[in-house]
Chains A and B, each alone.
Chain A
Amino acid sequence: MTALAALLILTWLYPLVLAVVYMVRPRTSPWLAASAAGPALVAALAMPKGAALELSWMLLGARYGVDEVAQTFLFFTAVLWLSAAIFGVGYLAKDNKRWRYSIYFLLAMAGNLGLIVAQDMGSFYTWYALMSFASYGLVVHTGDEEARTAARVYIILVMIGEVLLFAGLAMLFIASNSLALDLAADPLAAALIFASFGVKAGVVLLHVWLPLAHPAAPIPASAVLSGAMIKAGVLGWLRFLNPVGALGEWGGFLIGVGLVTAFYGALIGVTQRNAKTVLAYSSISQIGLITVAYGAWLLTGRTDQAALTAVLLYMMHHGLAKGALFLGVGFAGVNRAAVAALLLPALALAGFPLTSGAVAKAALKAATATLPDGWPVLLNGLLPLAAVGTTLLMARFLWLMATTAPQAKRPPKVMWGAWLALLVGVAGVLFVWPSAGSAVRDAFKPDSLWVATWPVLVGALAAAIAPWVVRSISWSPLPAGDALVLYISVVVHLSQALRVAQNSVEGGERRLVAAFSAWRRTIAAADPAASWELRLRSNWLLVGGALLGLTLALLWMVGAAIE
């Protein structure tokens, strides 16, 4: 086996093996887990595009490989897992359930990295499931009421997503008669796959689990949930639904969905009172923008590089920035400098000049510029408004961070190390990433500087006057998960109806059996002396009668049939 093939396998095998090590030896040093994403990072940087490996004995026949998409995903995903793992060494140092956390963390990591390099349906679905189910352990970790509710909602939506994906993939498999990661040609299959990954990504109406689950998890887990794992949904879109597939014609629809998601997330998000919930809504909002980029790519009708690059750059930018924001929550109430440093990823999300956000937005603008009809005009008008929304969200977040009650505890040094390293990544990576070259140049053009600046200024201004406005009107925030309330009431009614139906059916059968035995007993009790005879007769009457009746019926039927 070549070194490249080994590296490809180690990407997911190494965290998997570490998970087993922790299962068997709970006292293993937490630093071992911190190294788990190492092979993936090396693979992202060193693996030539096009490397592939066939493991035909595995699952339904497995294929692994690295292409352009996988490389970008592998890089920012590995960076996030790596920094979250190191951060976790410090953050969970005094947690008595750290052992359990490490296992689920490593399993989820193996799933997330595995699905990126998987090149066949069976493997992709497997790693995707491992990631989704293992994350349950992260969401429920703290074990309080909030976490339990969040985890329940989360797992239900995971199951729904799994089932939709299964149906979509099965349709794809039957249509193409192959397990290759292929394009969905059938509109229904495409819709199922889109919805399934939409649950993971957090597209509006399918997003309800996200504002509950991301804040409930411990901070490093939130960072990877929001930074890396929801992107797996977008990866799913890219893998199965591209411009030449059935969904190509839906590009416009997806841009609409993305815009609604972007504004919806910002609107609900600013009303939240928990810093992590605000970040979760910001993730929804940002996924909306990524959906816009993705829809634009579909709308081009060809596997256009510019639009795909925009999606990938946006992904990387948001992944790193959101990871840094979440990890930053670990310093709330502890250190004012840390809160100030959060300005960097916050401004990046808002797309302020000289940040990764500006580069990502420039790429998005370049991708949408060539769209037909009125799309460029519409998007040029609406996207800056989305940036205003993001600025408001970030202002809200920073406000909540700055007003957190001071705490006496001092975060361990490893937390600082991991976080600062990630901040450096946020500041620098997009400017040196090879495929970002033209986007970086665009971002420095004077007119784009202005386009990137004014929404932030407007947003900041709005945030500054917001307290006065809010004080003058009475309002109460929507609960995290917003539309969830509606879904729950539907489910409750359904399950009540089900229980009633079930009791009546089951009770009916039980009464039937009981009546039969009671009848037998009364016959036996009526005349104890002759009971054996009667009992025999009562049974034989039934059995014999049934037998006779059936035989006669059958003879008649056979006779009729032969004639």
Chain B
Amino acid sequence: MMGWESFLPLLLFLSSFAPGLVIFFLEEEAHTTRTVLNLFGALLKLALLAIMVPGLLEGRVYETRLPLLPEIDLVLRADSLSVLFIVLSASLWLVTTIYAIGYLEYSPNRSRFFGFFSLCVSSTMGIALAGNPLTFLIFYEMLTICTYPLVVHRGTPQAMHGGRVYLAYTLSGGVVLLIGVVSLHVLAGPVEFVDGGALDAVGARSPEALRWLFPFFIVGLGVKAALVPLHGWLPRAMVAPAPVSALLHAVAVVKAGAFGIVRVVYDLYGVNLAHDLGLIDPLLIAAAITIIVGSLFALNQDDLKKRLAYSTVSQVSYIILGAATFGLFGAIGGLLHLVHQGVMKITLFFCAGNFAETLGIHKVSEMDGVGRRMPLTMAAFTIAALGMIGIPPTAGFISKWFLGAGSLQAENGWALGVLLTSSLLNAAYFLPILYRGWFKPQQGEWPEEHLYGRMETHWMLLFPPAITGAFVLLLGVLANMPFGLLRWVEFLILLEYRL
């Protein structure tokens, strides 16, 4: 397909990349320009999506192809899986931008922050749109680099240390992924992501080689997806400001890793081939271990953000568990959770940021009585936390339902056991927070209270969690509505399973 439509994916990337570059050159005080640029980029992205989604439903494919290396192009292609991820990142980026503006209003180095913030989202777009492994790798590494300045933004020794550990982990992961991508090229020549898998011919020719390569992809991507034991960077990256953590956990880094694994399983190997080669069962076991271990570690964390971080370790592996479950229900559950986990986790981090910014609360043990002081924030936190446990009617219940049913469908009853154990553990570390917030009386003064007139906090901090919190409920209550997320995911999975 030629014409202007073939530039749509590139535009999608540039809509945050270009504002990002401009923002670097803005004065610190150019508050309005920066805000306008940020919001313009975010809204433009959503507008582009609004053009593309109807086309995708008609079966059109939007593709930008630029020559990069001999034989290999830089391919940006919007297929149904990438659009799922893009819709999630673009919408959450908009909310997070608003939140970040409110959060960092009076702190130094705002231009640097928002510049990298936009680049970070652009890289995520690139990852989502990447049409072949090399393009994916380029943006994957770009994401690593762009996120580092955000993690160390505060510049404290702790932040620098966290950033260093982050780089050590992710760059090593990148190297492993590089080896995987290069070896695949040597083995199979130029390969592109295709619905249902691109390696059938190679699989028939040299299954052993593909079997050996799979771990390289998984380890390379698993570092970002925080598969145990590659998760060590994540709790340390918690020193980043709240909007960064929110983005990191919901759409950018961790999610990029999980998305990559989904890509590799579905569109590179193909789920049928991966199943035939016996590759997805080990992946399933890795995901199961991560789910349990992440939750166990979350239990005893008093630092709120750290507890949330370990919870991410566990929850992101639900997505991988879904991808590694052979069968429609499990696959649907995994992809649903890609979106649901993002919306729920971003809500939790927004709320954690609100508690820190408004009252100076960083620890779970300081949260007594916070529900009375900040009812809306606490309500959003409650809904998202219940979602994480998988209590109906939240979004988390819907994905857990499909994952659970999928485990049974694939005759992996033990995986259902893993999910339910995780639910119990999630309850064990989330419900006490809710208890403190709603039922315990306040203990003394708040550590560091700021007042915002009649509102419980600044409106730019309050609206984002209120909106995402409402979505956690709506995605659950309206799960089965026509044109809903569930329909989209079902459509997608049928393509991946070639049914």
A: residues with CB less than 8 A from B are 56-61, 122, 125-126, 129-130, 133, 137, 140, 143, 155, 159-160, 162-163, 166-167, 170-171, 173-174, 498-499, 502, 506, 509, 513, 517, 543, 546-547, 550-551, 554, 557-558, 560-562
Cβ-defined partner of B175 (8 Å) among A140, A513, A550, A558: A550
B297 to chain A, nearest CB (A): 6
Q: Identify the stretch in B242-250, B390-398, B451-459 within 8 Å (CB) of chain A at 4 or more residues.
A: B390-398
Q: Given A122-B392, A550-B175, does the pair A499, B300 have CB atoms closer than 8 Å?
A: yes
Say yes or no: A498 contacts B209, CB within 8 Å.
no
Chain A residues within an 8 Å CB radius of B183: 554, 558
Cβ-defined partner of A143 (8 Å) among B391, B407, B439: B439
Q: Given A57-B482, A58-B478, A60-B398, does the pair A174, B409 have CB atoms closer than 8 Å?
A: yes
Give B161's nearest chain A residue, CB to CB. Answer: A517
Complex Cα distance, B206 from A173, in Å, reads 40
* B:346-401 near A, CB below 8 Å: 386, 390-393, 397-398, 400-401
Interface membership of B216, Cβ < 8 A: yes
Complex Cα distance, B397 from A498, in Å, reads 27
Chain B residues within an 8 Å CB radius of A61: 480
Interface membership of B461, Cβ < 8 A: no
Say yes or no: B175 contacts A547, CB within 8 Å.
yes
Besides A167-B404, A170-B408, 15 other A-B contacts (C-beta < 8 A):
A57-B480, A57-B482, A58-B477, A122-B392, A125-B392, A126-B392, A130-B392, A166-B401, A171-B408, A173-B405, A502-B299, A502-B300, A509-B229, A551-B179, A561-B209
14 contacts between A and B (CB under 8 A): A59-B479, A61-B480, A126-B393, A155-B427, A160-B424, A166-B390, A502-B296, A502-B297, A513-B232, A517-B164, A543-B175, A550-B176, A550-B179, A560-B208
Chain B residues within an 8 Å CB radius of A122: 392, 401
Q: Interface residue count for B (Cβ, 8 Å)?
A: 58
Chain B residues within an 8 Å CB radius of A56: 480
* B:422-464 near A, CB below 8 Å: 423-424, 427, 431, 435, 438-439, 441
Say yes or no: B427 contacts A159, CB within 8 Å.
yes
Say yes or no: A170 contacts B404, CB within 8 Å.
yes
Main secondary structure of the interface of B (DSSP, over half): helix
Interface membership of B481, Cβ < 8 A: yes
Say yes or no: A509 contacts B232, CB within 8 Å.
yes
Complex Cα distance, B484 from A13, in Å, reads 23
Complex Cα distance, B444 from A492, in Å, reads 31
Chain B residues within an 8 Å CB radius of A498: 296, 299
Say yes or no: A159 contacts B424, CB within 8 Å.
yes
Say yes or no: A558 contacts B212, CB within 8 Å.
yes
B297, B393, B404: residue with the most chain A Cβ atoms closer than 10 Å: B393
Say yes or no: B401 contacts A60, CB within 8 Å.
yes
Say yes or no: A163 contacts B479, CB within 8 Å.
no
Interface membership of B204, Cβ < 8 A: no
A140, A498, A547, A554: residue with the most chain B Cβ atoms closer than 10 Å: A554
Chain A residues within an 8 Å CB radius of B417: 167
Say yes or no: A60 contacts B479, CB within 8 Å.
yes
Chain A residues within an 8 Å CB radius of B409: 174
Complex Cα distance, B407 from A60, in Å, reads 18
Say yes or no: B405 contacts A174, CB within 8 Å.
yes
Chain A residues within an 8 Å CB radius of B172: 543, 546
B195 to chain A, nearest CB (A): 26
B332 to chain A, nearest CB (A): 12
Say yes or no: B208 contacts A561, CB within 8 Å.
yes
A44 to chain B, nearest CB (A): 24
A7 to chain B, nearest CB (A): 21
Interface membership of B187, Cβ < 8 A: yes
Give A557's nearest chain B residue, CB to CB. Answer: B212
